[in-house]
Amino acid sequence: MSDVLQQQIIVEDDRTGTHVETLKRAILDNLFYIAGRFPANATSLDYYTALAYTVRDRLLRRWLETLENNLDRDARVVCYLSAEFLMGPHLKNNILNLGIGEPLEQALTELGLDLDEISSQEEEPGLGNGGLGRLAACYLDSLATLGIPSVGYGIRYEFGIFDQEIRDGWQVEITDKWLRLGNPWEIRRPQSAVKVGFAGHTEAGTGVDGKYRVRWIPAVEIKGVPYDTPVLGYEGRSAGNLRLWASEAAESFQFDRFNTGDYQGAVAEKVFSENITKVLYPNDEGIQGKQLRLQQQYFFVSCSLQDMIRVHLRQGRSLDTFHQKWTIQMNDTHPSIAVAELMRLLMDEHGMGWEAAWEITRQALAYTNHTLLPEALERWPLPLFSELLPRHMEIINEINARFLQEVRSRFPGDEGLIQRVSLIDERGERYVQMAKLACVGSHHINGVAALHSQLLKTEVLHDFNTLWPEKFVNVTNGVTPRRWVALSNPDLTALISSRIGAKWIGDLERLRDLEQHVDDAEFRSDWMKVQYATKVRLAAYIREKTSALVNPATMFDVLVKRIHEYKRQHLNVLHIAALYFHLKRNPGLAIAPRTFLFGGKAAPGYYMAKLIIKLITSVGETIDNDPEVRDRLKVVFLPDYNVSLGQRVYPAADLSEQISLAGKEASGTGNMKFAMNGAVTIGTLDGANVEIREEVGPENFFLFGMTTQEVMARKAAGYSPSDYYHSNGILREVIDAVSNGVFSRGDNAMFQPLLRSLLDRDEYMLFADFQPYVDCQARVSEAYLDVDRWSRMSILNTARSGKFSSDRSIRDYSRLIWHVDGFKAPSLAES
């Protein structure tokens, strides 16, 4: 029998098949029928479109099968309400989770195409501003991987977080037009649109059943249209859904007004309605910005709750069982209006009494707090809130009255407590306090790191912990190892899998098996070779994007996160300046050459954060212009930091900078991504740093700075930053140099606002932690020069990072808060 006859004949559906020939046909079919191109005139963008739809076809099969399985199992659904979902690029992540990387790359090669070139055409959805949105994305990945029925609900912003350019060292914001070329991963569902009202008035009366009823008559109604994006779990076993809402006019064109010549009036409703989901986080310094932000939050919450109720009723269920079918997690305070909106929907729209509606609301909702900064606990001016949401103001007042009556009955005579826990801040201008509303209306309240949760109970939400200690739990954040190691760091993934197998990608605790290889000199050598090759690739990218020449043989010392004073990027800069002067005085000093990499965006209205960026770039410019030092120190600010850039940076880092003042960072997630990829951390005992140090071992973590208790004690004793300035010669030299224009081309006025803030207040106590930080950095340099020691530290950071998988976080939520179980279908390979 000939070889040809012996070959197995494979017949596959071109939409779901995964063999090479099937994939080639599917790509060319989609190029022709979706992109409308012949191969001869197709661009890389055309091929991206064709490839995206080829991958999406295979994804949709598992997505729809998951939905059917969930219906058959009558499973409880997790609904994750978040104002941000920073998903990152979809293409390669979906290829990884489908497990079709090898046949797909072969198919592309045979077609004369390159996956990296094609994937570079994908626009990253900028639907978040950092850790909050990225955490939400990681959780959707883990929910799908663990087979837990889930829907992420958010906003389909037309323009995401701005694109960042650096011009003359300053941040410049550019509109993020992420939708300008379309989005092949989403499915528009106009048949599931809902209506959302604003403003107007309420009318009270008696319903046909003889019961007291309130009717809200909005002045304006807009339409919320859902867009669904499937979220596939690892190995394609199951999938979740991301449902984002876009605002549209209920009537987009007034033909009668157009005919009378009122051309602007004809589309006025369309303009007003679409503005609500136009941009992520409008500048809310003015009253118009505050109003738009409140409109955004209410809009997506109302759409989402209406959607859940509609599905619940369509399945023939009574609303009395709503909380048994749906568990709703509010990701920070942005969705906390859900407490009042769910009450309104149950009572006003569906005729339920107060007590029954309140019981269902409190059993359905749970609240994750993400901050220790009082200014980040949202509150709204009462006149604005009452005008925009009059019925919700009535409901909140009633919730508050009943709540305060309960508090008075438990703590008679304690009017101080009453004032502190009231949902309405009565001091001066009155405010509606959203975090307190979330606390009262939720069955559980969780922090996102052990230290953070403890500080919530003892400081930020102390009174609520006194009232309901049983509500408070901790769920330490986590990140998905699929995107942040397997996808971002394929060489390290291959090395790890060659020693312990590949099951760790779906079960990160298996990385512990690496510990048995830490004494293997060959393995340590291979580990450092992988690290160096990754740094070479990042150096090439930096040169392409910024023209900066970076030496991959230097230590890559990395600080990438949102620019904010409490994150203390400027503490790092002060150390760099001190090191610069130290090398100028001691040119023969034996230290590890370093490349300091910074990245992150400052809020457009946050001048001090923008000034910190300018200081970073100015110090870098001064060093670049000094031939005595520039081969030993390098400072690069990486513009437009986002998920795609993070996938390049985390794997290449040697040192992870996590240097916020103790007691200010809730958790952090970048610290986890660095550790998973083998970076060693220098950090304070803040947020999840505490737990990372516990896991990797104190000998594999560079600790400096005050503890939270020491910070509180020093502030209570009367913290004086000028005392540190006068008593520390190194600090004084650096501050004086910045003040005298050494790093600003002689302009001694440029950085005065930042310096005055440090010298007069130093709210985040840089000066107190400066010398311990400098001393700790000297220990870092010494350790890095010992390659054997550093390689062991790096391996053990990865090996002991299993706790920080988002899979563990989701299991904790499921056990402690949601009370749901997962279901794993066979993988695509098995099926």
Report the DSSP beta bridge partners of residue 780.
none
Could you tell me how far CA 607 lies from the centroid of its own chain? 23
Tell me which amino acid residue 676 is: M
Nearest to 223 by CA among 155, 291, 273: 273
Euclidean distance between CA atoms 227 and 571, whole angstroms: 43
Question: Are 495 and 247 in contact, with CB atoms under 8 Å apart?
Answer: no
Active-site residue, from 90, 673, 803, 808 = 673
Between strands 194-198 and 220-232, the pairing is antiparallel
The single-letter code of the amino acid at 769 is D
Q: Are 133 and 146 in contact (CB under 8 A)?
A: no
Is 515 strand, coil or helix? helix
Given the residues 561, 594, 601, 634, select the one marked as catalytic: 561
Catalytic residue among 90, 223, 483, 562: 562
3-class secondary structure, 625? coil
Containing 505, the helix (H) or strand (E) segment is none
| Tokens standing for residue 410 | 């438990």
Catalytic residue among 370, 452, 614, 634: 370
Catalytic residue among 361, 669, 681, 684: 669
Q: Any catalytic annotation for residue 614?
A: no
C-alpha span between 561 and 394 (Å, rounded): 40
The CB density around residue 628, as the number of other CB atoms within 10 Å, is 11
What type of residue is 222?
Answer: I
Comparing CA positions, the residue from 147, 59, 49 lying closest to residue 100 is 59
Per the CB < 8 A criterion, the answer to whether 274 and 291 are in contact is: no
Q: Which of 604, 632, 633, 638 is nearest to 619 (CA)?
A: 633
Cβ of 589: how many Cβ atoms within 10 Å?
11
Give residue 747's identity as a one-letter amino acid code. D
Distances from the Cα of 815 to the Cα of 152, 247, 474, 812, 820, angstroms:
19, 36, 12, 5, 7
The Cα 809–Cα 140 span in angstroms is: 11
Residue 596: strand pairing partners: 557, 635
For residue 560, give the DSSP letter: E
485: β partners: none
CA dihedral sign, ordered 268, 274, 279, 283: positive
587 secondary structure, DSSP code: T
In total, the chain counts a number of residues equal to 831
Active site residue 493: no
Give the span between the Cα atoms of 27 and 95, in whole angstroms. 14
Catalytic site residue from 567, 610, 632, 808: 567
Distance CA 488, CA 534 (A): 10
Dihedral sign computed on CA atoms, order 102, 108, 113, 115: negative
Handedness of CA 166, 168, 173, 176 (dihedral sign): negative
In angstroms, rounded to a whole number, what is the distance separating the alpha carbons of residues 768 and 757?
14
Amino acid at 232: L
Annotation marks residue 824 as catalytic: no
Half-sphere exposure of 573 (CA within 13 A, CB side): 29
- Return the structure tokens found at 11: 């017949």
d(CA 550, CA 636): 9
Active site includes 317? no
Tokens standing for residue 399: 């919730």
**Residue type for position 449:** A
Active site residue 19: no
SS3 799: helix
Q: Are 9 and 22 in contact (CB under 8 A)?
A: no
400, 382 contact by CB (below 8 A): no
Neighbouring residues of 709: CB distance < 8 A, sequence distance ≥ 6: none
Is residue 483 annotated as part of the catalytic site, yes or no?
A: no
User: Within its chain, how far is the Cα of 658 from the centroid?
Assistant: 17
| Residues labelled as active-site residues | 370, 561-562, 567, 669, 673
